[in-house]
Structure 1
């Protein structure tokens, strides 16, 4: 076979990425312990916090509603950023990435596989949380096409931003066994300062300013616009949902995350190069 023929039949990076995503998804569901924990942990937090903190934070708005909106965004952060920033260093230590480096698959296809996997998990988890919140805590689902559309684009941009940032951040832990100690505190701090566990406007202003730099704050705000009454928009820091700004900042983080992936991702650890 000539070089020209081989070039003609070289697999497309997107097609390779989609094939890789199927493998990633199958591996996720085969690891039953981690799969159950991934789905059960945010649901457990939702049930506990929503059952305990059932007070009103504004006329007609309970903290339960506020918290559920934040937890949906936090689950997306966990699946995208935290899981991948821990999982990829472990795969690197086990030699998985080194074996992939010897295949025709470019890094872009690997990224696509991870992103599609996280989207799949995130959508399933969001559906489960909405079903439980609607059944146990009377959460009202979006009642207009516009709100469903907002839920869709906030989810798509939020998961993309978190996933790409997680892949980029995976270059920081030097060993897979150290990754949880490096990554988990970052994810937890972001949740505490971004309006997940507390009403965002009740936090000190300096925390609000720090949170506004990162995607999670805008993801939670976008989710609140979907699940809370329109009247609550006046309680936000800017007095409105700022959906245009939410889209802009999440879009910027998608670009930043992708750029960092390209600049920092390596198939092997520094010591092996």
Structure 2
């Protein structure tokens, strides 16, 4: 067990270091950050409806919450699908405690790069807009919100990655995730949306992570434009905790079934299909 933990942590640190020193990998994190910062820049002079507070400043914390969700949902699922196709997962399965150390390493590397991406957006974003501030309660909120963000989204991302065998089919999972962004109040207050849309948005972690990050960085007066006119910390913790329990219950079952199906012939068959697709 201890050996598996040590191997997983070492694997995660190595992957994180490789990502930080590989220009192409860094660009995959930097490019979305630049796009989102450009969006914040063009929103900085608009105001949140009913207030004189900058819409750009109000949007930036929500974007940070969205980034935490994307790291767990999209990055984990995409990497799992790719490494399933190239045989990395099969090699991990063949070693003692291989799957456990693989998943731990993935949590370390993806979590680390998600935090790096968050800083890439937060530091220049704070220079573009005015009104952001983190008080003592905000720091305390970050202490439980960020770990819950990873625990609530990474297992679900692993489940999604287990479902799809072909990276080219990931659009079936990515498009609904972008749909959730649209109804989660990330770029525009959810209070301006129809009630049934608000209800759907509140079922998923995306809305609550955006709300939690807004509670960290925005003044308390901005809670007036949220649902129930409060930051709803207890509800945020509760909904994310439910997703943690759901993910940690579902993910091990799905991953074990996926690992049992992995074999040299299955990897070879996927490679042949990929080559046939590229040759068309």
How high is the TM-score relative to the length of structure 1?
A: 0.88
Report the secondary structure of 1:170's partner residue: helix
- Structure 2 matches for 1:52-201, cutoff 5 A? 52=43, 54-57=45-48, 58-142=50-134, 144-179=135-170, 181-201=171-191
Structure 2 CA distance for aligned equivalents of residues 60 and 229 of structure 1: 13
Task: Report the Cα offset of residue 30 of structure 1.
Answer: 4.4
Equivalent residue, structure 2, for 1:232: 222
Measured against aligned partners, the alpha-carbon deviations of 1:97-144 in whole angstroms (never above 9, x if no partner) come to 0111111124332222111212211222222222111212235231x2
Higher helix share: 2
Task: Report the Cα offset of residue 157 of structure 1.
Answer: 1.0
Instruction: Name which of structure 1's ranges 211-220 and 103-112 shifts more when overlaid on structure 2.
Output: 103-112
The RMSD of aligned alpha carbons is: 2.1
For structure 1, the 5+ residue unaligned runs are 1-9
Structure 1 CA distance for aligned equivalents of residues 87 and 117 of structure 2: 30
Cα distance change on mapping 1:269 and 1:208 into 2, 3 Å: farther
Equivalent residue, structure 1, for 2:25: 34
Structure 1 CA distance for aligned equivalents of residues 177 and 30 of structure 2: 17
Tell me the number of residue pairs that the alignment of Structure 1 and Structure 2 aligns. 262
For structure 2, the 5+ residue unaligned runs are 268-280
Structure 2 CA distance for aligned equivalents of residues 247 and 263 of structure 1: 25
Is the CA contact 1:74–1:191 (under 8 Å) kept in the aligned structure 2?
yes
- Deviation beyond 6 Å, 4+ runs, structure 1: none
Task: Report the Cα offset of residue 177 of structure 1.
Answer: 2.7
Is the CA contact 2:69–2:209 (under 8 Å) kept in the aligned structure 1?
no
Q: Is residue 214 of structure 1 aligned with residue 204 of structure 2?
A: yes
